[in-house]
Amino acid sequence: MINSLFLINPSGEMFLEKHWKSVVSRSVCDYFLEAKEKALEPEDVPPVIHTPHHYLISIYRDKLFFLSVIQTEVPPLFVIEFLHRVAEMIQDYFGECSETVVKDHMVMVYELLEEMLDNGFPLATESNVLKEMIRPPTILRSVVNTLTGTSNVGDTLLTGQLSTIPWRRAGVRYTNNEAYFDVVEEIDAILDQSGTTVFAEIQGVVEACVKLSGMPDLTLSFMNPRLLDDVSFHPCVRYKLWESERVLSFIPPDGNFTLMTYHVNAQNLVAIPVYVKQSISFFECGSDGRLDVTVGPKQTMGKTVEGVMVTVHLPKTILSINLTATQGSYTYDNGTKLLVWDIGKLNPQKLPNLRGSLSLQAGAPKPEENPSLNIDLKIQQLAISGLKVNRLDMFGEKYKPFKGVKYITKAGKFQVLTITASINKYT
Amino acid sequence: PSSSPRHDDLKEMLDSNKDSLKLEAMKRIVAMIARGKNASDLFPAVVKNVACKNIEVKKLVYVYLVRYAEEQQDLALLSISTFQRGLKDPNQLIRASALRVLSSIRVTIIVPIMMLAIKEAASDMSPYVRKTAAHAIPKLYSLDPEQKDCLIEVIEKLLADKTTLVAGSVVMAFEEVCPERIDLIHKNYRKLCNLLIDVEEWGQVVIINMLTRYARTQFLNPNMNESLLEEGGGEKAFYGSDNDDDTDDEEDKEEKEKKKTEATAIVKRKPYVMDPDHRLLLRNTKPLLQSRNAAVVMAVAQLYFHLAPKAEVGVIAKALVRLMRSHSEVQYVVLQNVATMSIKRRGMFEPYLKSFYIRSTDPTQIKVLKLEVLTNLANETNISTILREFQDDHFNDKDFVAATIQAIGRCATNIGEVRDTCLNGLVQLLSNRDELVVAESVVVIKKLLQMQPEQHSDIIKHMAKLTDNIQVPMARASILWLIGEYCEHVPKIAPDVLRKMAKTFTNEEDIVKLQIINLAAKLYLTNSKQTKLLTQYVLNLAKYDQNYDIRDRARFIRQLIVPTDKSGALSKYAKKLFLALKPAPVLESPFKDRDHFQLGSLSHLLNAKAGGYQVLPDWPEAAPDPSVRNVEVKESVPEWTKCSSREKRKEKKADKPFYSDSEGESGPTESADSDTASGSESGSGSEESGSGSESEESNEESESASEEDEEEEGKKKKKNVEKIKARKPVPETCLAVHAVFTQPPPLPVSVPQTIIPSGNLKTYELLHRITGEGLSVEYCFSRQPFSPDPHMVAVKIQFTNSATSEAKSLHVEDAKLQSGMRIKEFPEIEVLPAGETVSVVMGIDFCDSTQAANFQLCTHTRKFFVSIQPPVGELMMPIFMTENEFKKEQGQLMGMNEITEKLTLEEKCQGEHAVVQRVTTAANLSRVPCGSDKECRFAGKTVTSGSLVLVSVVTKEDGAAQLTVNCEKMVIGTMLVKDILQALTQ
């Protein structure tokens, strides 16, 4: 299965390597580095590369390449999924996944990798099990460690591996028993220049933070489960019970985990929380143009839209811009031609507007491409699909847990298309 | 080896008595290893600490040991006794950890020790130790392949293990050591199927992939009879209206014909009945489509693709589309597989067309794959959307432009209706600023023109002009070839092009030079008067070219075309040689036939066999003995663990299926299944009494027991969620739909102007009495306006309850619609008593397309998947017009919007009355008055968009006639022409 893993930073430095079988020389990465050189963006590096003796399967995540070396047939998704788990594990342990973090915790990451695979085959990938074997660092503990010279390796023998509920460790005890669920929805949409929805769908996820003692068996039900068009579950969820009764029945992992992800069909009309009025135009003659963008609230169910941000990739031939924003501020990077307008909260009484002039490089033809606007936004206390949690019941334990549900809506890939108009020379 | 002073430091620390110093040293050493630095010279100092009491130090020493033992074999042996001691420890975790490290030390000399340790661990009390033993097997095998036979014995033993913990790991070992020993699986097959859902994710992937191969050797092809039932093309009709272009269809028909005869042969011997074990596998893997793990979902998807009856494969599409929203690497792999699947099973992805739309932010490789999938999914109903998608400005990315243009070319070859549209689009691209775009277009246009050159001499002329500007060699060569090949269509321009080319010959690239010679030769043969000298000149230039290929070609051609006394018989045939009719190139997908590799595999992705790939066998002609999978009751070892109760739970289900099972199995097959159930149930009976042998697992026992209770409850509440049962008869329904296209029943039409009375309407079957368990459902297009929503087609649905008990709460649920389509459900029918019939009307907005509307028809107990697919003629409604209005409107719908066909009326169909009757049967149109009795006119508009549809049939002598259809919607027009033609000529 998986022979070796290399972590590579964007400049091509291999800063961590781990081998689960015989050592593979790091020169094998040259094939990958070559492909990386060729690619315009790091995302464009092919995920699977065939070399004379090995196969290289890589992912790009959090500005790092996770490159695995394979020698024989293995389902590529098996490897890709595992590599993402590695990234998630680092994120989970150290709060972020970055080169600095890995370099700071080299030994611990190495030990974790040792536990995650045995002879290249996944052994323990559940965060619950791993955390019992190797405790994540906390500030207090790292102080204690430096003073006493102990480390984070579990000092008792672990039982996590022995459970048939591989995702939950045994003997969990809390003084405050609590279970929180966050329903987070992202709207993916493409609106055309007139504001009509070309495409819209909602991706949702139920994130859970469950800190309950013992072996609680939870049942979570929704007011309107039929909304959900497609779902996928954490392995703890009893699939068949969902299929028959549309309830989520599960023995939860301890701590944070993703309970389910779902998709709301575009068929059930997706509410679009904002509208964007925009025009980008260039004069037929000369080298000037104009940009005018207004953002306003649309279907917000009475909630405030916050964190609004508009990002535009302007045409390459733009030389400079001169814009004024009535709210928020904008930044423009002339190298990447990236215009970012950070608006903040939307005020329906006074709509934010950004307008001004664009100037093209002298002699450049009118740009052909139509830049699209990418919108970012956030709405608290609202699941835009209308999904609502009905109730949460607990069986198997006697105590009364504290329960809570939070809703939040965000923009996913939310694009507004434009058509650059040309204006006849005004005389 | 020269060790740096710093390493001396470390050695000193390792030798100290303080654990904290040792730990610090080990940490620094492991950090060196992690960074890829060599720390092998520390081996002696480290290995001394293998027996260190401090567990943290010990762990790091193990890590070091595993990394360097291979390089320091002699020294590594020093540590072995520690592990041997560990193997005997009373604590199962220490036993497992000792085995894990011992088996990871790649030192040949300890092979016998490892073998012994694995054998012992394989019969350990603890399932965790047994799991570790399974992991150790491939390690030992790679160290010493000669141990294979012994290891197979261990694998056989562990395969019989009944815990979920061991299952994944031992199948992994099986796959690495002896994948060919499929016989070892027989006895464990049912158990593996039943344990599957509780195995950890990675194990699931390995087991599912292995079982796919197993099933291919043991069961019969569930689709072998399919073509027989469907009568050719039925499957396609089910998914959508893809009346493919002729070549494809013919190929298909031939294939189907062949299959049909094969199938008939088999059927004659024995009707196909799915082996219950085959069903068990499909049933137990299906819920895993909901897994969060992309690899698991893909594994189930490939299993369904390779093993399921056609009608059931569709369930995987939604799950695969879900993966498309995951990380881009996941998308990349999934798209590769979807590309392959969409060639064979296009229909299942059609409803998800929009998910494959290209985003400007997609990485290039994703864009190219999406393009591939869109091209595969293109048919006449969606082609206009797809072409628009292609045209959208994705022209920033050079690789991608080329791929887009090729995709347009492929759509054009596959779908005859849009060939001209595509060609026009490509011709427009010829004036694009970017030379690469132009060049790629030229190459694709060349291929398209080869299909019908005579109609496109103006395009050839246009391209001839391009030689002045375009510099990309491949494009220049393509243009020259075109002009040469079709010089008869451009007799004036061709010699002029040759003249210009002769001028620039010496500066051209080699491929262009070869084509210049080629052009010269062809012109010489057809028009020697004008081009003789030019040809001589070109050949002379070529004779002295630097490239020997070009020199050779010139010499060869001169001999061939210029008659001399020496030139032999060949020159007589020169014209035939050069201007032979050449078959048009086939533009096909690079993913065609890639499904001979198991989907989801690395080999499939690379389209090349990767090392260790196990070939997916073809279905056997006759099924091997199914009794090999029967398990003797006695064999169930009393060594049961907590998992056994889970297993029991599931095997009960196998007995009385209630979750995912569904698929209509007929009686006799079920009975075969029962012996699994009885066998294992008695096994589990023994478990109940003898359980709890292992104390550490007893609490677990209670957990799964409670779970079982809950599920039991669930069983009572919802006994039947047998969804898929309705799927099988669907092809029959389609057959009915199909029949209407080909044979309109002779209906007496009294007053042609009015709507046909509903009594004469063709009814189609929606649900057969047998599949519906007594409930049969028929529908017809009532041709009445649907009052709640004028943009919907009214569909009258008639329920007949021929069962003995009443059916309750009949309603529609869970519509799976193409985007834009809408359904207005009929009001729920609360009770339908036995023997009664009731009719309701529902409205469907088909969006002016012939895509099927899929939904579930639910009763209080059951759900049936059904689909309604409208013939194109039902997508419109009649409107009234005067003759003048008709003429005016017709005048505005010229050009691309007008389609004219000549036809010969069938004998019975000559005469105005018959024509009117047949046309109005085929399409919901009203008659428009007409002064001439030689012409019949009809008008209507499409229901959704209200686009005008005008039809006129002009009759001439001897049954000759001309049909004209004018419609804004070209696709509707094209399909309507086809249907009316059929109605009038058959």
Q: What confidence tens digit (pLDDT) does each residue in B8-49 have?
A: 888 888 888 888 889 899 999 999 999 999 888 898 889 888
More confident residue, A297 or B385: A297
Taking Cα atoms as reference points, which of B758, B701, B698, B765 lies closest to residue B731? B765
The residue type found at B53 is K
In whole angstroms, give the CA distance from residue B575 to residue B563: 12
Contact between A59 and A66 under an 8 Å Cβ cutoff? The reply is yes
Running DSSP on this structure, what letter comes out for residue B505?
Answer: G
Residues B723-730 have a mean pLDDT of 38
pLDDT of residue A143: 58
Q: Kindly report the nearest CA distance between residue A303 and chain B, in angstroms.
A: 28
- Do the Cβ atoms of A240 and B711 come within 8 Å? yes
Residues B102-116 have a mean pLDDT of 89
Q: Which of B34, B96, B601 sits opposite A106 (nearest CB)?
A: B34
Average pLDDT across chain A, whole number: 86
Q: Kindly report the nearest CA distance between residue B402 and chain A, in angstroms.
A: 17
Q: How confident is the model at residue B299 (pLDDT cuts 50, 70, 90)?
A: very high
pLDDT of residue B262: 53
- Do the Cβ atoms of A244 and B718 come within 8 Å? yes
pLDDT of residue B703: 43
Query: How many angstroms separate the first and last alpha carbons of chain B?
Result: 92
pLDDT of residue B782: 84
Residues A124-136 have a mean pLDDT of 80
Question: Which segment of A138-142, B480-484, B822-826, B924-928 scores lowest on mean pLDDT?
Answer: A138-142
Structure tokens at B751: 């007053």
- Do the Cβ atoms of B135 and A118 come within 8 Å? yes
pLDDT for residue B184 is more than 70? yes
**Which of B305, B321, B329 has the highest number of chain A CBs within 10 A, making it the mutation to test binding with A?**
B329
* Phi and psi angles of residue B888, each rounded to the nearest 5 degrees, phi first: -65, -50
In whole angstroms, give the CA distance from residue B502 to residue B430: 24
Question: Which segment of A375-379, B387-391, B476-480, B675-679 scores lowest on mean pLDDT?
Answer: B675-679
Running DSSP on this structure, what letter comes out for residue A96?
Answer: S
- Do the Cβ atoms of A75 and B298 come within 8 Å? yes
Taking Cα atoms as reference points, which of B825, B870, B875, B824 lies closest to residue B848? B875
Q: Which residues of chain B neighbour A134 with C-beta distances below 8 Å?
A: none
From residue B532, alpha-carbon distances to A329, B489, B541, B923 in Å are: 74, 19, 14, 60
pLDDT of residue A72: 92
Structure tokens at B277: 């074990």
Structure tokens at B541: 């230039």
Contact between A75 and A49 under an 8 Å Cβ cutoff? The reply is no
Query: B318-335 burial by CB neighbour count: b if 16+ within 10 A, else e?
Result: bbbbbbbbbbbbbbbbbb
Contact between A306 and A379 under an 8 Å Cβ cutoff? The reply is yes
pLDDT for residue B251 is more than 80? no
Q: How confident is the model at residue B769 (pLDDT cuts 50, 70, 90)?
A: confident
Helix and strand numbers (H, E) in chain A are 7, 24
More confident residue, A353 or B390: A353
- Name B269's Cβ contacts closer than 8 Å, sequence gap at least 6: none
**Tens-place pLDDT, residues B490-548:** 888 889 999 999 999 999 999 999 999 999 999 988 888 888 889 999 999 999 999 99
pLDDT for residue B637 is more than 50? no
- Do the Cβ atoms of B601 and A41 come within 8 Å? no
Q: Which of B205, B360, B610 sits opposite A73 (nearest CB)?
A: B610
Q: Kindly report the nearest CA distance between residue B281 and chain A, in angstroms.
A: 16
**Tens-place pLDDT, residues B115-130:** 999 999 999 988 889 9
In whole angstroms, give the CA distance from residue B703 to residue B708: 9
Beta bridge partners of A357: A290, A322
**Which of A55, A73, A157 has the highest number of chain B CBs within 10 A, making it the mutation to test binding with B?**
A73
Residue of B nearest to A62 (CA): B327
In whole angstroms, give the CA distance from residue B163 to residue B200: 11
Q: Name the E strands within A334-372.
A: 338-344, 353-360
pLDDT for residue A318 is more than 60? yes
Q: Kindly report the nearest CA distance between residue A40 and chain B, in angstroms.
A: 10
More confident residue, A419 or B869: B869
- Residue % of chain A over a pLDDT of 90: 45
Question: Which segment of A321-330, B159-168, B446-455, B844-853 scores lowest on mean pLDDT?
Answer: B446-455
Q: Kindly report the nearest CA distance between residue B611 and chain A, in angstroms.
A: 5
- Do the Cβ atoms of B164 and A164 come within 8 Å? yes
Residues B52-58 have a mean pLDDT of 83
- Do the Cβ atoms of B287 and A19 come within 8 Å? no
Q: Kindly report the nearest CA distance between residue B352 and chain A, in angstroms.
A: 11
pLDDT of residue B302: 96
In whole angstroms, give the CA distance from residue B169 to residue B420: 58
Q: Which of A14, A50, A164 sits opposite B36 (nearest CB)?
A: A14
Q: How confident is the model at residue B730 (pLDDT cuts 50, 70, 90)?
A: very low
- Do the Cβ atoms of A369 and B600 come within 8 Å? no
In whole angstroms, give the CA distance from residue B332 to residue B292: 17
- Do the Cβ atoms of B30 and A107 come within 8 Å? yes
pLDDT of residue B468: 81
pLDDT of residue A150: 53
pLDDT for residue B563 is more than 80? no
pLDDT for residue B443 is more than 90? no
Q: Name the E strands within B49-141.
A: none
Chain A to chain B, count of Cβ pairs less than 8 Å apart?
Answer: 269
pLDDT of residue B658: 30
Q: Kindly report the nearest CA distance between residue A243 and chain B, in angstroms.
A: 7
Q: Which residues of chain A neighbour B601 with C-beta distances below 8 Å?
A: 73, 75-76
Q: Which of B27, B63, B710 sits opposite A249 (nearest CB)?
A: B710
Residue of B nearest to A107 (CA): B31
Residue of B nearest to A219 (CA): B710
Question: Which segment of A22-36, B193-207, B235-249, B273-287 scores lowest on mean pLDDT?
Answer: B235-249
**Which of A85, A88, A119 has the highest number of chain B CBs within 10 A, making it the mutation to test binding with B?**
A119
Q: Kindly report the nearest CA distance between residue B331 and chain A, in angstroms.
A: 10
Q: Kindly report the nearest CA distance between residue B679 and chain A, in angstroms.
A: 24
- Do the Cβ atoms of A372 and B610 come within 8 Å? no
**Tens-place pLDDT, residues A196-216:** 887 788 999 999 999 999 889
pLDDT for residue B607 is more than 60? yes
Chain mean position to CA B436? 32
Element (H, E) at B732: helix B730-742
Residue of B nearest to A156 (CA): B55
Q: Kindly report the nearest CA distance between residue B817 and chain A, in angstroms.
A: 8
pLDDT for residue B947 is more than 50? yes
Q: Which residues of chain B neighbour A244 with C-beta distances below 8 Å?
A: 658-659, 714, 717-718, 721
pLDDT for residue B691 is more than 70? no
Residue of B nearest to A264 (CA): B322
Residues B362-370 have a mean pLDDT of 88
pLDDT of residue B435: 74
* Phi and psi angles of residue B192, each rounded to the nearest 5 degrees, phi first: -60, -40
Pairing, β A178-191 against β A402-416: parallel
pLDDT of residue B530: 85
Q: How confident is the model at residue B157 (pLDDT cuts 50, 70, 90)?
A: very high
pLDDT for residue B6 is more than 50? yes
More confident residue, B95 or A129: B95
- Residue % of chain B over a pLDDT of 70: 80
Classify A343 as helix, strand or coil. Answer: strand
Q: Kindly report the nearest CA distance between residue A404 and chain B, in angstroms.
A: 24
In whole angstroms, give the CA distance from residue B848 to residue B385: 13
pLDDT for residue B5 is more than 80? no
- Do the Cβ atoms of A266 and B819 come within 8 Å? yes
Residues A155-170 have a mean pLDDT of 61
**Tens-place pLDDT, residues B796-813:** 888 888 888 888 888 888
- Do the Cβ atoms of A242 and B703 come within 8 Å? no
Classify A248 as helix, strand or coil. Answer: strand
pLDDT for residue B725 is more than 70? no
In whole angstroms, give the CA distance from residue A211 to residue A253: 9
Predicted TM-score (pTM) above 0.90 = no
Q: Which of A16, A84, A243 sits opposite B660 (nearest CB)?
A: A243
Q: How many CB atoms lie within 10 A of CB B757?
A: 13
* Phi and psi angles of residue B501, each rounded to the nearest 5 degrees, phi first: -70, -35
Contact between B871 and B880 under an 8 Å Cβ cutoff? The reply is no
Residues B883-909 have a mean pLDDT of 82
Residues A77-102 have a mean pLDDT of 93
Treating both helix axes as pointing N-terminal to C-terminal, what angle do B548-561 and B528-543 enclose, rounded to 10 degrees? 150
C-alpha torsion angle, residues B473, B477, B480, B485 (rounded to 10): -170
Q: Give me the sheet containing B764-767, strands edge to edge.
A: B764-767, B775-785, B793-801, B837-845, B822-824
- Do the Cβ atoms of A232 and B292 come within 8 Å? yes
- Do the Cβ atoms of A231 and B290 come within 8 Å? yes
- Do the Cβ atoms of B329 and A106 come within 8 Å? no
Residue with tokens 């509440």: B717
- Do the Cβ atoms of B330 and A77 come within 8 Å? yes
Q: Which of A21, A50, A233 sits opposite B292 (nearest CB)?
A: A233
Q: How much of chain A is in helix, strand and coil states, percent to nearest 5?
A: 20, 45, 40
Q: Which of B138, B364, B393 sits opposite A119 (nearest CB)?
A: B138
Beta bridge partners of B893: none
Angle among Cα A278, A279, A285 to the nearest 5 degrees reads 170
Residue with tokens 């998986």: A2
Residue of B nearest to A84 (CA): B327
- Do the Cβ atoms of B322 and A232 come within 8 Å? yes
Query: A318-355 burial by CB neighbour count: b if 16+ within 10 A, else e?
Result: beebebebebbebebeeeebebebbbeebeeeebbbbe
Q: How confident is the model at residue A397 (pLDDT cuts 50, 70, 90)?
A: confident
Question: Which segment of A130-139, A357-366, B797-806, B856-865 scores lowest on mean pLDDT?
Answer: A130-139
Average pLDDT across chain B, whole number: 78
Q: How confident is the model at residue B235 (pLDDT cuts 50, 70, 90)?
A: very low
pLDDT of residue B488: 83
**Tens-place pLDDT, residues B165-179:** 899 999 999 999 999
Query: B872-906 burial by CB neighbour count: b if 16+ within 10 A, else e?
Result: bbbbbbbbebeeeebeeebeebeeebebeeebebe
Running DSSP on this structure, what letter comes out for residue B211?
Answer: H
Residue of B nearest to A27 (CA): B36
Structure tokens at B387: 């072409």
Q: Which residues of chain A neighbour B172 with C-beta distances below 8 Å?
A: 1, 121
Structure tokens at B402: 């080329």
Listed in sequence order, the DSSP H helices in B718-821 are 730-742
pLDDT for residue B256 is more than 70? no
Q: How confident is the model at residue B833 (pLDDT cuts 50, 70, 90)?
A: confident
Residues B285-292 have a mean pLDDT of 93
Residue with tokens 């030769």: B521
pLDDT of residue B244: 40
Q: How confident is the model at residue B567 (pLDDT cuts 50, 70, 90)?
A: low
Q: How confident is the model at residue A106 (pLDDT cuts 50, 70, 90)?
A: very high
- Do the Cβ atoms of A22 and B106 come within 8 Å? yes
- Do the Cβ atoms of B643 and A164 come within 8 Å? yes
- Do the Cβ atoms of B36 and A110 come within 8 Å? no
